[in-house]
Amino acid sequence: MARHGESGLGYEIVKAVISGEIIEPITYEKIKLFCKKNNIDATESHMRVILSNSSENTHSPTYKKYFKRVGRGEYEVLSEYKNQMQFYWLNVDSSGYDWTFSDIKIGKTQTYSNFNPNGNQRKNPRCFQEIDVGDLVVAYETGDVKAITTLCKVSDK
């Protein structure tokens, strides 16, 4: 058994977020309370650096990247560790393309950029930043179709 739980303090924090024991955003104060409550013997310096060190790949090869910084001293668990698939709604006016979602066959891929054919950024750019491989997208075709035509799974970002 590792010094701080089964696989280290970072992993213990991830498990606590998934179980709801720690509510995001994660802060040093929340980690300190979590360690005290669970009798985890982590030093104050380790508790202070675990989030920042585990949010960068450049710090040390011994720190696995579990977190992303969302504010000053605030972090969230990366979605791939939450095992929670996100769902997104996508409105597509198929008249502007030489393809439609309703014509795509199962197993085929289609690139859909966060910029429209005119080079302008689409609405809700935050969704394009947050979406991850494995997330699901409900494609709603506007224009003549006006229907949900496809359920897509993100295969590349």
Using a CB cutoff of 8 Å and minimum separation of 24, what contacts does 47-50 make?
47/9, 50/9, 50/10, 50/13
Domain tally, the chain: 2
Q: Which residue has the higher pLDDT, 137 or 97?
A: 137
Asked if 99 and 139 sit in the same domain, the reply is yes
The tens digit of pLDDT for each residue in 59-114 reads 666 667 888 889 998 999 988 787 667 889 988 887 777 788 888 888 888 888 88
The residue segments making up the domain with residue 69 are: 9-82
Q: Could you tell me if 66 and 34 lie in one domain?
A: yes
Closest by alpha carbon to 110, among 146, 147, 149, 142?
149
pLDDT at 144 over 60: yes
Q: What is the pLDDT of residue 26?
A: 93
| pLDDT for the residue 48 | 85
Enumerate the β-bridge partners of residue 139. Answer: 90, 150
pLDDT recorded at residue 94: 76
The answer to whether residues 94 and 70 belong to one domain is no
Of the candidates 34, 53, 82, which is a domain's last residue?
Answer: 82
Per-residue confidence (pLDDT) for residue 57, from 0 to 100: 65
With the CA atoms of 9, 63, 127 and 21 taken in that order, what torsion angle do they form, in degrees rounded to the nearest 10? 0
Cα 69 to Cα 123: distance, rounded to the nearest angstrom = 24
Integer Cα distance of 34 and 14 in angstroms: 12
28 lies in a domain?
yes
Same domain, 77 and 110: no
Structure confidence by residue, pLDDT tens digits, 10-44: 889 998 998 889 999 999 999 999 999 999 988 88
Looking at the structure, do residues 76 and 94 belong to the same domain, yes or no?
no
Q: Is residue 4 part of a domain?
A: no
51 and 77 together in one domain: yes
pLDDT of 4 higher than 70:
no
Q: What is the pLDDT of residue 138?
A: 92
**pLDDT value, residue 61:** 66
